[in-house]
Chains A and B, each alone.
Chain A
Amino acid sequence: MKIKFNTIEQMLTLAANINKPLSEVVLQFEAQRSEKDPNEIWANMKNSLEVMREAVTQGLAKTEKSFSGLVGGDANRLIKRSKSSACLTGAVSGQAAAYALAVNEVNAAMGKVVACPTAGSCGILPGALLAAGEVLEADDDKLIRGLFTAAGIGMVIAENASIAGAIGGCQAECGSAAAMAAGAITEMAGGTPQQVSDALALALKNLLGLVCDPVAGLVEVPCVKRNAFGAAHALLAAEMALAGIKSVIPADEVIIAMHQIGLSLPRSLRETSEGGLAQTPTALLITERLQAGKPAV
């Protein structure tokens, strides 16, 4: 059977046809597309999972700053608080956010990450997935399945909208990553394909319109902390979908809306650093200091 899809709706239909979860649809699609052995594809994804885990571990332990001096050490701060009795948000949300910070801090310090879908949004999926995985006591196979589901969602977004901040703003990067993570967690927690669809729609809807305005053009401020929010956000979207809350606007329509919003964004808010946070007095001062070869702060 030919496995091909361009929309979330088509993914759901295929899943119903083969009576398997969405992750299986995505795995079979990739095997057909790449003409590779599914075992080899699985092994590649397992490697991605390992890289994600290693980045989380490294980032949580790390307290030094990035080259610019703007980020670093926050994952360590947050994980300590999340694991303490003072934690307000619940250990899982705090951990998801701390893991996401960890991955993005490693990224900013020229460490090894998996772009998912991009380097600027590389913390959301591993943060949410690994934190949820701990609660669900998920083994590697379940986590890898989650990554395939996430990949399928990202592919549909890339096909019908964009995953590049320069085209769609931050909603296209962090919004897509949160949608991917929300869908992945929902499947891992035993949600139906329809619940996966609702979860990704809910996650994406709430990040619509988010602009890409990096200070001094770096993948640091506000990117790193937005990943922390994105990871916690994805967990909540999954929780809502698993509770039976539906998205009134179907996932595919949310994706199209995201694309339309991206097209309406001025160039200054699409990764050019010519607007938004990047043009605040503090950001301009940081930019000036970095250009003069001085530390940013």
Chain B
Amino acid sequence: MHGVFDIIGPVMIGPSSSHTAGAARLSRMARTILGEQPASAVIELHGSFAQTYRGHGTDKAIAAGLLGFNTDDVRLKDALSIAAEQGLDIIFKTVNLGDNAHPNTAVFYLTGVLGRKAKIIGASTGGGNIKITEIDGYDVELTGEYYTLISIHHDKPGVIALVTHILAQESVNIAFMRVSRREKGSEALAIIEADHPIPQHILTAARSIPSVKLALLIPPL
């Protein structure tokens, strides 16, 4: 069942909940997944995003999200020039990802100020809702509704148990968990979604596990 503010809301910068607000949320999620301030971005837009992005201000919304702005931030309208002033280099391209891709899909190739690179694919699924479907080649499903811990680690026995053990010690209840990998024994990715906030020191503890290459905390959007 929807909540009151799913109907009277979100408070947003127009014109479109999917092509503007959703695009901004998608992009802010991509920034969070990168884990640092982006320095440059190449954005590929597919489907309806590709056809109508200028008229809906999708490009401005994506720039706003990369700058960390919320969907109701009045600076969204000027986000492209603000990004340019801040030295954030953004290139927009259109792409055809085929009929199976959601019509409002964007591919983010991001490079952070500290040098981390990430490729993130996601879609704006309507009403401002989003779904991240791929991170660095891993299939994921991330909607930004939950407190999320992401770990990229060496694919070997016991790593997941170590991570979940840390959560258990802190009484964090896992709502959903998804593990994927590119090939057996190489690198794997785990996404753990929790009902309640995951404290910062859990992230520190997860990062101290030797096999964990990267751990990120993603608060709900």
Contacts and interface: CB of A to CB of B under 8 A. Distances in A.
B55 A106 contact: no
Given A112-B74, A119-B20, A219-B56, A107 B4 contact: no
B14 A48 contact: no
Contacts of A66: 15
A180 B7 CA distance: 10
A263 interface: no
Residue from B51, B74, B126, B128 with most neighbouring chain A CB atoms (10 Å): B126
Interface string A100-114: 000000111111111
Contacts of B12: 112-115, 119
Given A110-B13, A217-B48, A115 B4 contact: no
B11 A51 contact: yes
Given A48-B11, A67-B57, A219-B56, A115 B2 contact: no
B55 A218 contact: yes
Interface residues of A, number: 53
A110 B57 CA distance: 8
Contact of B14 (A68, A110, A151): A110
A166 B129 CA distance: 14
B111 interface: no
A113 B14 contact: yes
A243 B3 CA distance: 32
Interface centre among B13, B16, B55 (most CB of A within 10 A): B55
A116 B7 contact: yes
Contacts of B11: 47-48, 51, 112-114
Interface in B1-48: 1-17, 20-21, 48
B130 to A, nearest CB: 15
A239 interface: no
A252 B72 CA distance: 34
Nearest to A157: B7
A78 interface: no
Contacts of A155: 1-4, 6-7
12 contacts: A48-B5, A111-B14, A113-B12, A119-B15, A147-B8, A150-B8, A151-B4, A155-B6, A159-B1, A166-B126, A218-B55, A219-B14
Interface of A: 4, 6, 26-27, 29-30, 33-34, 41, 44-45, 47-48, 51, 66-68, 106-120, 122, 125, 147-148, 150-152, 154-155, 158-159, 163-164, 166, 180, 216-220, 290
Given A108-B14, A151-B4, 13 more contacts: A48-B5, A48-B8, A51-B11, A68-B55, A106-B14, A110-B13, A114-B9, A115-B21, A119-B16, A122-B14, A150-B7, A180-B7, A220-B15
